[in-house]
Amino acid sequence: MRLSASSPPSQKPASLRKNRQVLPQTQIAHDESPLTLHEEGWLDRWCSARWRALLTWIALDSISIAVIELGFLNGIDEAMQRFARYISRFIAVPSSFVTIWPYITLAALFVWFQPLLLRLNGWRSIAWISAVIVVLALALSPPILSHLGDKPWFLLGALGIIVTLPGLTLIGYRSRPWMILIAGILFLPVFAVTASMIRDPRFGGPNSIGLLAANLPYAAILLYGTKLKTRTAGADAARAHD
């Protein structure tokens, strides 16, 4: 049997048609989240230049120190005591909670911007801040202070855990998450040496200036030593096809 001249052209395999549709999607930005594809926001565009993220980190750190040194947070202790007295009408509020809370607020003030500049997602940012708060609360709890508070290594040891434990949130999201160990190891001597050199209180307390100085290499190592992970649209398409 002969085919007529008007016979339709042969159809190409479906796999070729699908590949033709998939290939244009492989061009994506390198700064997208490794978990979900999303449109870049202004913070992503700002932090894409690491020097801008570093300057922002140091600026926000300086503002946090200025807020503390100028006494804007002096009312926290009194406010927490009033809050505890009010809540104690219904439930018993431990005295240690009232004592530790101002320090927890200070810790949150110092670190809230760090996961944002590292461009972590919401849950990882919460985990980063929570890790700092939990370690600080444990370090200042009466049982630990009563046993270890007089040890010369206690302050630096607790501070070392505080600055390195949040690095767990970098795993799977930024490359080389172990770089936070190097950042933490460098953080401690810079803090200790700088704090010991401060003699004039006009420029701020020793601990505040020490934290500011130690945050410079800490931030630089995290921002330049790690990189936001990416994934290709082709891998996403193949996963969706399966």
Query: Does residue 121 carry a pLDDT above 50?
Result: yes
Closest CA to 101 of 83, 127, 119: 83
Beta-carbon contacts of 227 under 8 Å, excluding residues fewer than 6 positions away, are 174, 175, 176
**pLDDT band at 234; cut points 50, 70, 90:** very low
Q: Which two tokens stand for residue 209?
A: 């200036």
**Which residue type, as a one-letter code, is found at position 75?**
G
pLDDT reported for residue 37: 40
**pLDDT band at 233; cut points 50, 70, 90:** very low
In the block, which residue shows the tokens 């750190």? 61
pLDDT reported for residue 171: 94
pTM of full prediction above 0.75: no
pLDDT reported for residue 18: 47
Higher pLDDT, 25 or 49: 49
Structural contact between residues 162 and 138, judged by C-beta atoms closer than 8 angstroms: no
> How much is the average pLDDT of 74-81?
66
Q: Which two tokens stand for residue 136?
A: 């600080």
Instruction: For the chain, give every domain's residue range.
Output: 57-69+102-227
**pLDDT band at 173; cut points 50, 70, 90:** very high
Higher pLDDT, 53 or 232: 53
Structural contact between residues 72 and 132, judged by C-beta atoms closer than 8 angstroms: no
What's the maximum distance between 2 C-alpha atoms anywhere in the chain? 103
pLDDT reported for residue 163: 92
> How much is the average pLDDT of 225-230?
88
Q: Which two tokens stand for residue 135?
A: 């370690």
Query: Does residue 238 carry a pLDDT above 60?
Result: no
> How much is the average pLDDT of 183-196?
90
Beta-carbon contacts of 220 under 8 Å, excluding residues fewer than 6 positions away, are 54
Higher pLDDT, 160 or 202: 160
Query: Does residue 52 carry a pLDDT above 70?
Result: yes
pLDDT reported for residue 36: 43
Helix (H, G, I), strand (E, B) or coil at 228: strand
Query: What are the contacts of 232-240 at 24+ separation with CB within 8 A?
Result: 232/26, 232/28, 233/25, 233/26, 233/27, 233/28, 233/37, 234/22, 234/25, 234/26, 236/37, 237/22, 237/25
